[in-house]
Structure 1
Amino acid sequence: MPILVEAGWGGLVQYPWSITWTDITDRVDMVQGVAITRGASDERSETQPGSATLTLDNADGALTPGNPNSPYYPYVRKNSPIRVSMAVMPARTGAAPWPLSQMGDTFDSTSGLWASFTGGASVTGGRARIPLTPGVTSTMVSARQWKLPGASVCARLATVPTANGSSVSRSNFFVESTTAGTRLGWQHNVSTGKLRAVNLVGDVDGAPTDLDFSAIDHRWMRIRETSGLVYWETSPDGWDWTVRRTLATPAWVTSQSLVVSLNATRTGGTGDYAEWDLLGAQVRPRFYGMVNEWPVEWEGLYSKVTISATDLFKRLNRLPELRSMLGMEVLTSDTLTGLYSFLAAYYPLSEDAGSTSAGSVAGGSAGALAVTQVGAGGTLEFGTDGVPETGETAVTFTPASSAAGKYLVADLGPQTASDTTTWMPMLEVWFKTSTVSRAICGLYEQGLDHELAFVLNASGVLQIEHTESGEPRVITATSTGNLANDTWHHLVYDGSLLRIYVDGVPVGGSLAVTSSQNLRYLHVGGYRGARLFTGQIAHVALHVAQGPAGAVYAANYGASTGYSGESADSRVERLARYAGLSSVTILGSTHDQVASQGPAGSGVVARLREVEATESGRLYAERDYFGLAYQSRDVRYNPDPVDEVFTISYADLEPGLQLADDDQKLVNEVEASRPGGATQTVTAPSSVLAFGSYPQQLNVLKTTDLKVADAAYWLVSRYANPDPEIREVPVEAATMASYLDILDADISSYFTVFDLPSQALASSARVTVEGYTETIKEQSHEIQFRTSTSARDSVWILGDTVYGVLGSTTRLAY
């Protein structure tokens, strides 16, 4: 059961796909061990940030921050990515030939697995070292006692060889038949940088699959056979596998005993070697996060570093308060275009009253919008009412006339000018007016050869004024209808399709608008000192894209209602995007509609927790990569014995099992409410009579009062009189035959403890995992599961012999 601890020196935890991991397992003090905590204390508590603590040997000073002599310099620093896994080695059972899934070697010594070594191949330092020596073929070949059907074999390429001036250098991982030259596996052409999935007959494969070798994505390689197909797979971590090639199983695979070989050759150049380790390991991730600090300690001349690390929630909790949902959509919608696109400038125009300029929050080099006076009189006020449901203000323009007053002017800078030449400009803006014949905004190039202005004509219909050859500007009318109707409108211009979107909907087809390039200057609330706007403007954004993206930006119109009514899973994915996460794992299928979270002023974790509480769901960080998981409440409905992760006898547990029966979770009176809805009370009178009042406030983001009542009933029905339960299950997992299954247990998994003592209420108890604390030491892996009774999540099924018993299992799901 080797532990695998890897550091992502120089990597950024938010970009996990780009991290090159370095194995630092040999530095781990396994006497003290590695301690990991995950999940919640019970089902009524929020999951907490996961943590890991471990002590590392620093005798060589490599882990001293700022040490220029460290091989990891300058990347021994706070927030360094770190991950911890268990590599469980298979055991052989039965008689040969054995399935290849039972082939495992940690290369701690020369095991009996290997029948021959040639060309200097050896077992060195816990790895199989295969030299790439000019003119020499190096091999390690197993005994012929293995079979592939229904099995698999994998290995990690621990040291990647280099070409070193050789025109032909190869490192291979093969499963071989009894016929010379007939084999399948992985062929790494070190000279060309190609990784080839091969099925060789006479050392020839007419249709191999070639990949550009990646030391990140192809670190692990596997050959697997199942149901008449052979799969070639790679993985960056030994856990998450990608199929690279599939082929009908060759006849020799099913009829022969096989060998596994690690071999390498080189023609010319300088010698090098490949190293393989963890042959056959079954990897189970335990922790993925960031190192908080590197505190160096000394005891005499001995130096150590005891580090603590925290999972994804550390980063999420540090993020600044979110803007409104509308603002966050503008900031993050470029991730949805599927194109090369980015936000060049974004002016929310939400500055405080009395401000004289407005800044871009896009993070680029665009200059501020400055208040500019034309003629005499007029006002321009920041801090006035903005787009509803945003909680953000807008700017109000009140000119003395169309030619006298104030508007906003910005120099977007030379980079934006260049970007709008290389890519297509995409503009979005919110406005509200009842005055026609005014300019909303416009862009132009310094020499005025290119201009692009958006104006309401005398009927309040949008028209575009444009040129690519200097004055005069061409006027192109649209079919928007009257937009000067004293209503907030969202306008999007797609410079690729030459199309206008209003309030989320395309208006007409492609427009006869000339190309726009080198756009550097932005005017808002008027254009070039004329047709000064009367009304309000907010959220002016300029995107650039390599193709049509207007439909994506037009969808931001939905943010004006805070996306009220979207499903909870969609809301979680939306909030995850605001946090910079590319994806979130959604588990379960019951996802109610949720109300708006539109206004600014709260952090992403707080908003995610609101959805979690509203849905009685479960939110937590993944333990194998930088990502979130969200479970709907139906994940826990009516657990089926066939889905149990494992079962374990009471006799196999560590001391400390207890049956709890107290009022820790008791709730028998709930006052529930929703934004803009009724306040309702649900009680369990018999519980109140027996135990007294145990009240709770429940504020949820439901969209109907009926759903609020359902949520309140769900809470009371489960906790008005909680049954006795087992809350802690201590297991020495390393000694269990079901070790891998125990490692698979995670939040909301369930398992059964059987053969309980005679004093127990029943001979067995099924429990749901809420969290755990584990300590991993040499030949020891203690896991203290924090659990709740699974029966509490049972719901009624009409006519079911287990879940349809009147008066017993009649809790209604919602």
Structure 2
Amino acid sequence: MPVLVEAGWGGLVQYPWSITWKDITPRVDMVQGITITRGASDELSETQPGTCSMTLDNLDGWLTPGNPASGYAPFVRRNAPIRVSQAVIPTRVGAAPWPLAQLGDDFDDGRIDPVLWPNSYGGATEVGGRARVPCTPGQYAAYQTARQWTLTGSQLTVKLVTLPGANGSSEALASTMINSLTPGTRIGWSYNAATGQLRAVSEVGYFDGAATALPYSGIDHLWLRIRQTGGFVIWETSGDGWAWTVRRTLATPAWVATDLVQVELVTSRTGGTGDYAEWDLAGAMVYPRFWGVVNEWPVSWSGLTSSVSITATDLFKWLNKQPALRSMLGMEVLTRETLSGDYTYLGAYFPLSEAAGSTAAGDVAGRFALGALALTQVGSGGSLEFGTDGVPETGETGVTMTPASASAGKYLVADMGPGFAADSIWLPQYQVWFRTSTPSRVLLGLHDPGLDHQTVLALNGSGVLVVESTETGPPVSVTTTATGNLADGQWHHLVYDQSAKRIYVDGAAVGGMLAAWSATDYSTLYVGGYRGGRIFDGQIAHVSIHLGTGPFGPLYAATYDAINGFAGEPADWRVERLARYAGLSSVTIHGTTHDAMASQGPGGSSVVARLREVESTESGKLYAERDYYGLAYQSRDLRFNPDAAGEAFTIQYADLETGSVELSDDDQKMCNQVEASRPGGATQTVQASESILAFGVYPDSMNLIKTTDLSVLDAAMWRVMRYANPLPELREVPIKAMSMPQYLDILDADISSYFTVYDLPAQALATELRVTVEGYTETLKEQEHDIQFRTSESSRDSVWVLGDPVYGVLGVTTRLAY
């Protein structure tokens, strides 16, 4: 079965959907093979960064970093994306006619298979592991099967790897067709180099006026599939052969049910200069094994032979590189724009959290080269101090302003620079946190060089927010909002969404609509005063401005909940939030049990550390996906009550073909006394007295970010119930996978999958044992695939089900779920 190794030359792992992948499989030394390690050593250990190692041929020097003559230059560099898949080629079973899903060819033997493609014509050949079909002016050429296949309930899959060029022709086609018995009646995919379109066609008389036409994408349309199911023919494309997108659905033509069909990989062109198209991996079922980035490209020589032995690491390398997090409030400001479906981005963010003694505050958004908010004296007297009280619970400081009077003291002024000024044509959204007991003062203001455009957010004499504005020069107009008195000595969160013309205070919209105006050429920002007057008296923190089309106010207003660290949100929400802080747009959540999370406190720790806190608190599993650059989180209930219906596979002990299977019975996992606590909560102890009497004390401690003492107690009891007296278990199960008839099921097995080893030797405690996958190490070689599964004992995750004949046996399977 062929291995598929692809490099994303020039791609950015932050945007995996935009990577164009190039097949480098022929370079892989398959004698040494590819080694992939994934998951954890056991269920009580954290999953480790997944790794992938292989040696690549570098005789042409193309994998030498910095080599300008390389066809991959300049992208042979650290953190180049790489992915590895196992492509399983189907085999024909029984006599013809065969379902199309059994039409499989990897085109790797240097000859056209006379059984699969007996009618090939026009100079079609097999070159370099691909089906090469000439695209010659005025001629047709094709790989072509006999009429011995059926499409009903089946499918045809192929990878279109090399496209013909237009080369001066008005039409240059590379088509994957399924032909009926009637000439010109057929369905398939057709690419036209002259138009750059890929068409999903169902033709009669070689014509389909209702074809679906797609602008061809080398990223999204690399793989093509046609399948028939449930009364419909479905056309699909894929970038990896694993995840498919439906492009067209059509009621099944009548001939599909009656005709023996013929497959053609066919080319033609009307004129211009000839070239060719290439197809590969017909019928392949693709199983992703690894997705990550290459750590380095070390070139070595043996005589004149050159090779590169690489190690790649999965998503956790990227996560581990992330800087320490700011407070949740700060991270919400920095990443809120990713939640907006509109074009909106963070233009400026001044947390005002500089240390005591500072005289200026910097922008951390980093989009423009903004000047610092510099301390500016107006009149004489007054003070402005950094490093003082900030928004509660965030762990970040703010500035305290104490003016001598409304017109004498210190405030902050910044030159926003030409970049911000040019982009401020968008409608901004402003945010500021503040606390004051003094009305008639300014929170912030902006203007252009000529004062033609001005925006000022201030409190009037009653402490009510007013918005002062002009876009035609002085004087400014004043709009009084309905905020009520905000000069009440309490911290307030203010959002002004200029796109939606709305004000939000402490997370809630304030009634009434404001006037709309543009914000052209804003170049100067004032914080805590405006143009020499109305100097603020109190604390200010977290000033930010988003620019875009909006509206953004409702999303931005939700930042107010960060004041309590989003305490009470479920664990899956917390995982997704933390992933967003690291720049990951989505997380795959498995399972349904997600307890409420407490605040994770101030910033300072890494995103991985925060994610691990959630994982350990919830007895969940966090790991990198193997089919794309993404994160997965499993809740604990995913493992509850493993049974035969959900097994990945079963395997006979004799089929393991190894002498290294071992049944372990030690105290490595034993735990019969747990001391558990939560921030601000009780410290509680749970113990299993019978286990302590028999084995002595095996203590453990748990500090969980739960919201209640009862949930902490539940977690502690769950730990003790499972490990007070662990049963013997198989901790490693080695399998020579490719030789097994259940190979596809074995490939599907991943972290938290479970399987049964049966017909164990007579000396075992039972004839069969069910195990849960915690991780694995696999080696892929030419026609060999060995997987060493690291496993745990599955019955440990069984929970009580009232009245169930298996999980409701009193005193035997009455472990309470947590």
- Please report the TM-score for the alignment, with normalisation by the length of structure 2: 0.99
Q: 2:390 is matched with which residue: 386, 393, 397?
A: 386
Counterpart of 2:674, as a letter, is V
* Corresponding residue number in structure 2 for 1:28: 28
* Corresponding residue number in structure 2 for 1:95: 95
Say whether the 8 Å CA contact 1:344–1:366 is kept in structure 2: no
Instruction: Look up the SS of the partner of 2:720 in the other structure.
Output: helix
Counterpart of 1:42, as a letter, is D
How is 1:614-633 mapped onto 2 (pairs within 5 angstroms)? Answer: 614-633=617-636
* Corresponding residue number in structure 2 for 1:15: 15
Residue-by-residue CA offset, 1:761-801 (whole Å, 9 max, x unaligned):
11111110000000111111110000001100001000100
Instruction: Look up the SS of the partner of 1:642 in the other structure.
Output: helix
Structure 1: how far apart are the matches of 2:415 and 2:806?
Answer: 71
Residue-by-residue CA offset, 1:366-395 (whole Å, 9 max, x unaligned):
211000000111111100121112111101
Instruction: Look up the SS of the partner of 1:260 in the other structure.
Output: strand
Instruction: Look up the SS of the partner of 1:585 in the other structure.
Output: strand
* Corresponding residue number in structure 2 for 1:450: 453
Counterpart of 1:7, as a letter, is A
Q: 1:524 is matched with which residue: 527, 540, 543?
A: 527
* Corresponding residue number in structure 2 for 1:668: 672
Residue-by-residue CA offset, 1:140-184 (whole Å, 9 max, x unaligned):
211111111111111111112221221111110011111101111
Counterpart of 2:776, as a letter, is Y
Structure 2: how far apart are the matches of 1:732 and 1:117?
Answer: 37
* Corresponding residue number in structure 1 for 2:225: 222
* Corresponding residue number in structure 2 for 1:339: 342
Say whether the 8 Å CA contact 1:767–1:787 is kept in structure 2: yes
Instruction: Look up the SS of the partner of 1:806 in the other structure.
Output: coil
2:178 is equivalent to residue 175 of structure 1: yes
Q: 1:651 is matched with which residue: 645, 650, 654?
A: 654
2:755 is equivalent to residue 757 of structure 1: no
Q: 2:408 is matched with which residue: 404, 426, 430?
A: 404
Counterpart of 1:26, as a letter, is P
4+ runs of 1 displaced by more than 4 Å?
A: none
2:618 is equivalent to residue 602 of structure 1: no
Say whether the 8 Å CA contact 1:559–1:598 is kept in structure 2: no
Q: 1:235 is matched with which residue: 233, 238, 242?
A: 238
2:308 is equivalent to residue 305 of structure 1: yes
Q: 2:443 is matched with which residue: 437, 440, 449?
A: 440
Say whether the 8 Å CA contact 2:445–2:527 is kept in structure 1: yes
Q: 1:351 is matched with which residue: 330, 354, 357?
A: 354
Say whether the 8 Å CA contact 2:120–2:145 is kept in structure 1: no
Structure 2: how far apart are the matches of 1:203 and 1:217?
Answer: 26
Instruction: Look up the SS of the partner of 1:114 in the other structure.
Output: coil
Counterpart of 1:110, as a letter, is I
Say whether the 8 Å CA contact 1:368–1:410 is kept in structure 2: yes
Counterpart of 1:498, as a letter, is K
Structure 2: how far apart are the matches of 1:398 and 1:521?
Answer: 23
Counterpart of 1:574, as a letter, is R
* Corresponding residue number in structure 1 for 2:141: 138
Structure 1: how far apart are the matches of 2:815 and 2:136?
Answer: 71
Say whether the 8 Å CA contact 1:134–1:268 is kept in structure 2: yes
Say whether the 8 Å CA contact 1:466–1:513 is kept in structure 2: no
* Corresponding residue number in structure 1 for 2:112: 110
Say whether the 8 Å CA contact 1:429–1:490 is kept in structure 2: yes
Say whether the 8 Å CA contact 1:417–1:518 is kept in structure 2: yes
* Corresponding residue number in structure 2 for 1:809: 813
* Corresponding residue number in structure 1 for 2:251: 248
Instruction: Look up the SS of the partner of 1:144 in the other structure.
Output: coil
Structure 1: how far apart are the matches of 2:219 and 2:423?
Answer: 32
Say whether the 8 Å CA contact 1:326–1:598 is kept in structure 2: no
* Corresponding residue number in structure 1 for 2:727: 723
Structure 2: how far apart are the matches of 1:251 and 1:193?
Answer: 31
2:290 is equivalent to residue 290 of structure 1: no
Say whether the 8 Å CA contact 2:482–2:512 is kept in structure 1: no
Structure 2: how far apart are the matches of 1:727 and 1:764?
Answer: 14
Structure 2: how far apart are the matches of 1:515 and 1:239?
Answer: 47
Could you list the runs of 5+ residues in structure 2 that have no partner in the other structure?
Answer: none
Residue-by-residue CA offset, 1:651-709 (whole Å, 9 max, x unaligned):
10022111110000001110000111000000011111111111111001100000000
Structure 2: how far apart are the matches of 1:70 and 1:174?
Answer: 37
* Corresponding residue number in structure 2 for 1:52: 52
Say whether the 8 Å CA contact 1:655–1:730 is kept in structure 2: no
Report deviation, 1:119: 2.1
Report deviation, 1:206: 2.6
My pick for the range that moved more, 409-418 or 510-519, is 510-519
Say whether the 8 Å CA contact 2:499–2:516 is kept in structure 1: no
Report deviation, 1:513: 4.7
Residue-by-residue CA offset, 1:340-375 (whole Å, 9 max, x unaligned):
110110000000000010000001222110000001
Structure 2: how far apart are the matches of 1:263 and 1:84?
Answer: 29
Structure 1: how far apart are the matches of 2:693 and 2:175?
Answer: 74
Structure 2: how far apart are the matches of 1:119 and 1:513?
Answer: 68
Residue-by-residue CA offset, 1:388-423 (whole Å, 9 max, x unaligned):
1211110111111111000000111122112111x1
Q: 1:417 is matched with which residue: 421, 432, 435?
A: 421
Q: 1:360 is matched with which residue: 363, 370, 373?
A: 363
Residue-by-residue CA offset, 1:623-644 (whole Å, 9 max, x unaligned):
0111000000000001131111
Residue-by-residue CA offset, 1:2-55 (whole Å, 9 max, x unaligned):
001111111112211111111111111111110000000000000000000100
Instruction: Look up the SS of the partner of 1:648 in the other structure.
Output: strand
- Please report the TM-score for the alignment, with normalisation by the length of structure 1: 0.99
2:672 is equivalent to residue 690 of structure 1: no
Counterpart of 2:41, as a letter, is S
Structure 2: how far apart are the matches of 1:797 and 1:671?
Answer: 28
Aligned residues, how many? 813
* Corresponding residue number in structure 1 for 2:282: 279
Residue-by-residue CA offset, 1:553-577 (whole Å, 9 max, x unaligned):
1111111110000000000000111
Counterpart of 1:165, as a letter, is G
Structure 2: how far apart are the matches of 1:807 and 1:229?
Answer: 53
Report deviation, 1:117: 2.1
* Corresponding residue number in structure 2 for 1:267: 270
Structure 1: how far apart are the matches of 2:177 and 2:791?
Answer: 45
2:805 is equivalent to residue 791 of structure 1: no
Pair 187,355 (structure 1): closer, same or farther in 2 beyond 3 Å: same
Report deviation, 1:318: 0.8
Structure 1: how far apart are the matches of 2:203 and 2:433?
Answer: 63
Residue-by-residue CA offset, 1:196-243 (whole Å, 9 max, x unaligned):
111111112131111110011000000111121111000000001111
Counterpart of 2:101, as a letter, is S
My pick for the range that moved more, 603-612 or 14-23, is 14-23
My pick for the range that moved more, 56-65 or 709-718, is 56-65
Counterpart of 1:570, as a letter, is W
Structure 1: how far apart are the matches of 2:602 and 2:550?
Answer: 32
Report deviation, 1:69: 1.2
Counterpart of 1:578, as a letter, is Y
Could you list the runs of 5+ residues in structure 1 that have no partner in the other structure?
Answer: none
2:683 is equivalent to residue 679 of structure 1: yes
Say whether the 8 Å CA contact 1:160–1:215 is kept in structure 2: no
Say whether the 8 Å CA contact 2:54–2:311 is kept in structure 1: yes
Instruction: Look up the SS of the partner of 2:692 in the other structure.
Output: helix
Counterpart of 1:743, as a letter, is L
